[in-house]
Amino acid sequence: MLKKLALSLSVFMLWTILISCGGNSKQTGQGFEIFDIKGTLHRSDEWIGKQPVVLNFWGTWCGPCRKEMPDLVRLYDEYSPKGIEMLGMAVNDHPNRIEKFVSQYGMRWVMLMANRDIAMRYGVTSGIPQTIFLDKDARVVMRFRGSRTYETLKTGFEALLKDQAK
């Protein structure tokens, strides 16, 4: 049992180092490439710059992230039919833990493995959760640092809808 725990901890530490060193993404012009939790490589322009997008930087190990997740699930269910995409940007986490958490909380949006370079690109330099609202032209419309309530997060989604109507 102790050997299994030590091996699991070693794998997690290696994964964390790879993530923090930028091992899971590549900058490509204005965009970037990033892996999802299944190991599939994606380009950011699949979503960003095509429609309003909400980026939620979070981690399974983060208490405030866990606290706001039910509200984000509810908001995603309300606003995805209106054309707003949400991307989970998991920070310093393990895909297996993320997959279990996603299933447990009913999170149906794309879950990606963010690294330091991507976090820095969006100004996420200290603490998570951070939720960033991007308009269809990839401009930041609103940002929340720290856990927020349903009502507060909803103002960001509404700002994207209002911007989209222009």
Model pTM above 0.85: no
Residue 144: which domain range? 2-165
Tell me the C-alpha distance between 86 and 64, whole Å.
18
CB distance 23 to 115 below 8 Å: yes
Predicted confidence (pLDDT) per residue in 52-110, tens digit: 999 999 999 999 999 999 999 999 999 999 999 999 999 999 999 999 999 999 999 99
Q: Tally the domains of the chain.
A: 1
Residue 140 pLDDT > 50, yes or no? Answer: yes
Residue 34 pLDDT > 80, yes or no? Answer: yes
Quote the tokens at residue 4. Answer: 């299994």
Q: How many CA atoms lie within 13 A of 93 on its CB side?
A: 27
Given this model, what pLDDT does residue 105 score? 94
CATH number at residue 69: 3.40.30.10
pLDDT band at 130; cut points 50, 70, 90: very high
Given this model, what pLDDT does residue 30 score? 53
Given this model, what pLDDT does residue 165 score? 73
- Calculate the dihedral angle through the C-alpha atoms of 42, 86, 122, 10, rounding to the nearest 10 degrees: -60
Predicted confidence (pLDDT) per residue in 1-30, tens digit: 444 434 343 333 333 333 333 333 333 335
Residue 166 pLDDT > 90, yes or no? Answer: no
